[in-house]
Structure 1
Amino acid sequence: MKKTLIATLATAATLIGGAAQAESASYTIEPNHTYVTFEIGHFGTTTNRGRFDKKEGTVQLDRAAKKGKVEVTFDVGSINTGSAQFDKHLRSEEILKTEAFPKATFIGDKFTFNGDKVSEVSGQLTLLGKTNPITLKASNFNCYQHPMMKREVCGGDFRATIKRSQWGVDYGIAYGFSDAMDLVIQVEAVHQ
Structure 2
Amino acid sequence: MKSELLAALLVTFGLSVNATAAPETYIIDSKHTMPRFSYSHFGYSTQLSKFDKTSGKIVFDKETKQGSVDVTIQTTSVNTGYALFNEHIQSEDFFNTAKYPTATFTSNKLNFNGDKLSSMDGTLTIKGISKPVTFTVTSFLCMPHPMAKKDACGVNATAVVKRSDFNMGKHVPYVSDDVTIDIPVEAIKE
Smaller-chain TM-score bracket: over 0.9
Question: What's the offset of the Cα at 1:3?
Answer: 4.6
Distance 1:56 1:39 in 2: 21
SS at match of 2:35: strand
Give a deviation string over 1:110-137, Cα, whole Å, max 9, x none.
0011223321111001110100010111
Mapping for residues 142-153 of structure 1, pairs under 5 Å: 142-153=141-152
**Stretches of structure 2 lacking an aligned partner (at least 5 in a row):** none
User: Which residue does the alignment assign to 2:75?
Assistant: 76
Distance 2:52 2:123 in 1: 21
- The answer to whether residue 15 in structure 2 is matched with residue 14 in structure 1 is yes
Question: What's the offset of the Cα at 1:15?
Answer: 2.2
Question: What's the offset of the Cα at 1:92?
Answer: 1.2
Distance 2:103 2:180 in 1: 16
Q: TM-score, normalised by structure 1?
A: 0.94
Give a deviation string over 1:163-191, Cα, whole Å, max 9, x none.
111111101104x2111100111001000
Specify the code of the residue in structure 2 equivalent to 1:10: V
Distance 1:37 1:107 in 2: 17
Specify the code of the residue in structure 2 equivalent to 1:28: I
Distance 2:118 2:151 in 1: 19
Distance 1:141 1:114 in 2: 12
User: Which residue does the alignment assign to 1:40?
Assistant: 39
Specify the code of the residue in structure 1 equivalent to 2:105: F
Distance 1:128 1:9 in 2: 55
Distance 1:95 1:73 in 2: 18
Q: Identity over the aligned pairs, expressed in percent?
A: 37
Distance 2:10 2:182 in 1: 49
SS at match of 2:43: coil
- The aligned length equals 189
Distance 1:110 1:122 in 2: 5
User: Which residue does the alignment assign to 1:168?
Assistant: 167
Question: What's the offset of the Cα at 1:53?
Answer: 0.6
Question: What's the offset of the Cα at 1:144?
Answer: 1.5
User: Which residue does the alignment assign to 2:183?
Assistant: 185
Specify the code of the residue in structure 1 equivalent to 2:176: S
Specify the code of the residue in structure 1 equivalent to 2:92: E
Specify the code of the residue in structure 2 equivalent to 1:47: T
Runs of 4+ in 1 over 3 A off after TM superposition: none
Mapping for residues 45-124 of structure 1, pairs under 5 Å: 45-124=44-123
Specify the code of the residue in structure 1 equivalent to 2:169: D
Specify the code of the residue in structure 2 equivalent to 1:91: Q
Distance 1:148 1:128 in 2: 37
CA RMSD of aligned residues (A): 1.3
SS at match of 1:173: coil
